[in-house]
């Protein structure tokens, strides 16, 4: 149920372009697409802290806005 709510929250976020920000990307399964976390992070360190605090089965990574 928690995964379902997380995925709905990630899908409902509007796609906006933020300059010089980092996004936390989440991939719940190997064959799934990447989902972007709702809030951008100004610093990569903030993104990495959030990434370490996220207990989620799957793959996560922090990506700068220009690479999305």
> Residues 25, 47: contact at Cβ < 8 Å?
no
> Residues 65, 18: contact at Cβ < 8 Å?
yes
> And the tokens for 53?
């605090």
Residue 18: the pLDDT is 46
Domain residue extents for the chain: 2-67
**pTM score:** 0.60
> Does pLDDT of 24 surpass 70?
yes
Residue 67: the pLDDT is 61
């Amino acid at each position: 149920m928690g995964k379902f709510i997380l995925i709905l929250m990630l899908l409902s976020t509007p796609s906006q372009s933020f300059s010089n920000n980092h996004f936390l990307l989440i991939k719940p399964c190997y064959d799934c697409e990447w989902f972007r976390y709702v809030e951008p992070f100004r610093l990569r360190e903030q993104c990495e802290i959030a990434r370490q605090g996220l207990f989620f089965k799957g793959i996560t990574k922090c990506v700068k806005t220009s690479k999305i």
